[in-house]
Amino acid sequence: MPDAPVPVATGLPGLSRIRGWTRWSWPLPAVVIIVANAIAVSVLGGADVYTWSLILIYGLFASSTNILFGWVGRASFGQAAFFGTGAYMVAFLREQDVPPLLALLVGLGAGVVLGIPLLILLRRSSGITFAMITLIVAQIIYQLVFTNRRLGGETGLSGITVTSVLGQDLTSYQAFSWYVASVVAIAMVVLWRLSESSFGMSLRAVRDDETKAAIVGIPVRRAQAIAFLVAGGLAGLAGAMLAQVQSTVSADLLFWTVSGNVVIMCLLGGRYRFWGPFLGAAVFIWVQNAFLQTGALSDLLIGAVFLVIVLVVPDGILGSVAPDRLGALIRRARTARGIGSSVAAGPTESTMDGDSAAPAPQPVRTGPDRGQGPR
């Protein structure tokens, strides 16, 4: 067999080939966040630090969404439900004397708990159906909150104050930023460990070939369920932090476009890279902020930018910087191999960037079936 040189970067962080990397790299995400925060706090002034805190929060939100999008391969259009629920939990607790960190935990827990009944609805859902059902359910939750006066209805709830955490005074933007950065740092380390664990690797296997994963012995449904709950929990945590930073919550947080935006953030930054979603969130928030000055033009420009990204840069920013030729190669390989060659084919659960025309032996039809004949 001809010896092929040149290992190519895999979808996972490719630095794993450095000796001992896996064992000692675990605190790195925290270091990155803390250092970034230190720089931001010293370089940026006043309100910009507030924007930076938002970037941290949405970065976490996007990273949690990417557990489903980039790791498992399913786009959820309903993560705003978890995000908003976490925020509202904190709002509900604002009159009790609850330590801020505990409030965060409540937000996280609420996110997990909310996911449990959803799992039942989502059994056997394929890509598009999954996106649609999550969209609709999240929108139901939005409507419930929006029309409910006790929950603040349209105007929302305000008066969430966090004055100190663990003895530290939190009255300035900078102090708050350190608070947020600390929590996000820990969360990103947790995410990193998850990514590197057997669980994380199994999720990627499910993404790349669900049938194969099942055959190899991965409990696919359970893996997807756990991923869903973890994603919801972390989104709830992010939402809880947002409530503390913003001091108010409103039903806007639950609107479906928030879910859509956060998925686009993942795509934008690179869904197959660990820091992709975070970077996407940063770019999104920055763009939104920058165009806010130009008034209504912001919606137009954001839409245009997103569209260009989706059409032209499939692997996102990080995917292009470390050129990920995989997408194109997989596409070509599938077209060459795919059409008309497989047995008992059904609709393809295409789980990666590429041609979705390649049939796969999969008799159980799970999606909005577009109608295909027997092969």
Partner 1 sequence: MTAPPAAIELVGVAKSYGQYRAVDGVDLVVPHGGLTALIGPNGAGKSTLFGIVAGDLAADTGRVLMAGQDVSRVTASGRARLGLGRTFQTARVFERLSALENSVIAVRAANKAALRVTDQPRGNRRVVERARAGLDLVGLGRQADRTAALLAQGERKRLEIALALTARPRILLLDEPTAGVGREDAQSFIRLIGSLRAADQDLTVLLTAHDMDVVFGLAETVVLLSLGKVVLSGSPEEVAAAEVTRRVYLGDKHAITPAAAPAGEG
Partner 2 sequence: MGQFLSALLSGLSTGVPLFLIASGLTLIFGVMGILNFAHGGFFMLGAFVAVSAAGWFGGGSGGWTLFGAVVVAAVAIAAVAVVCDLVVFRRLQKREEIIGLLGTFALLLLLVGVAEQVWGVTPRSLTMPTALSKQIALGPASITTYDVMLIAIGLLVAVGLWFLLRRTDFGRKARAVAFDRSMAAALGIKASLVGTGVVAIGGLLAGLAGGLVAPSVSVDAGLSLSFIVPCFAIVLIGGAGSISGALVAAIILGVAQSLVVNYAPSFFGYATYVVIGVLLLLRAWIRNLRPAEEREQVA
List of residues contacting partner 2 (CB under 8 A): 74-75, 77, 121, 123-124, 127-129, 131-133, 135-137, 139-140, 143-144, 146-147, 255-257, 260, 263-264, 267, 296-304, 306-307, 309-311, 314, 339-340, 346, 350-357, 363-365, 368-373
DSSP H helices, the chain, are 21-24, 28-43, 46-66, 79-92, 100-122, 127-146, 173-196, 198-208, 210-216, 220-246, 256-269, 276-292, 297-312, 316-321, 326-338
Write the DSSP assignment of 275-287 as a string of letters.
Answer: THHHHHHHHHHHH
Nearer to partner 1, 96 or 198 (CB): 198
At its nearest, how many Å lie between partner 1 and the CB of residue 364?
A: 9
Tokens representing 83 are 């995000």
- Tally of CA atoms within 13 A in the half-sphere of 112 that contains its CB: 11
What number of residues does the chain have?
Answer: 375
CA distance 256 to 313: 24
> Does 9 contact partner 1 by CB under 8 A?
yes
Integer-rounded Cα Rg, in Å, for the chain is: 21
Closer Cβ to partner 2, 180 or 220, answer by number = 220
Q: Which helix (H) or strand (E) holds 249?
A: strand 248-249
Q: Which two tokens stand for residue 212?
A: 């194969």
> Residue written as tokens 């598009």?
128
Q: Which does 267 bind (CB under 5 to 8 A by kind): partner 1, partner 2, none?
A: partner 2
State which residue, 109 or 327, has the beta carbon closest to partner 2: 327
| CA dist., res. 268 & res. 313, Å (int) | 8
Q: Which of 209, 256, 289, 305 binds partner 1 (CB under 8 A)?
A: 209
When CB distances are held under 5 to 8 angstroms depending on the partner's kind, the choice from partner 1, partner 2, none that residue 194 binds is partner 1
Q: Name the residue nearer to partner 2 (CB basis): 39 or 121.
A: 121
C-alpha–C-alpha distance, residues 337 and 314, integer Å: 22
First to last CA, the chain: 34
Q: Please state, as a whole number, how many other Cβ atoms lie within 10 Å of the Cβ of residue 38.
A: 13
For partner 1, the closer CB: 289 or 362:
362
Instruction: Calculate ∠ Cα 78-84-88, nearest 5°.
Output: 150
Q: Which tokens is 93 given?
A: 């607790």
Contacting range for partner 1; rule: CB under 8 A; set: 59-67, 94-102, 175-183, 328-336: 328-336
Closest by Cα among 339, 373, 374 to 359 = 339
Q: Specify the amino acid at residue 191.
A: L
Binding residue count for partner 1, defined by CB under 8 A = 58
114 interacts with partner 1 by CB under 8 A: no
Which region among 117-125, 234-242, 246-254, 331-339 touches partner 1 (by CB under 8 A)?
A: 331-339
Of the candidates 98, 194, 301, 302, which one interacts with partner 1 according to CB under 8 A?
A: 194
Window 15 to 74, contacts with partner 1 (CB under 8 A): 16-17, 20-23
Paired with 248 in beta bridges are 158
Rounded to a whole number of angstroms, the minimum distance from the CB of residue 69 to partner 1 is 14
The contact pattern for partner 1, residues 262-301, with x = CB under 8 A and - = no contact, is ----------x-----------------------------
Residues 224-243 that bind partner 1 (CB under 8 A): 226
Q: From partner 1, partner 2, none, which one binds at residue 17 (CB under 5 to 8 Å depending on kind)?
A: partner 1
The binding site for partner 1 (CB under 8 A) comprises 1, 3-4, 7-12, 16-17, 20-23, 193-194, 196-199, 201-202, 204-205, 207-209, 211-220, 222-223, 226, 272, 326, 329-330, 333, 337-338, 341-344, 352, 360-363, 374
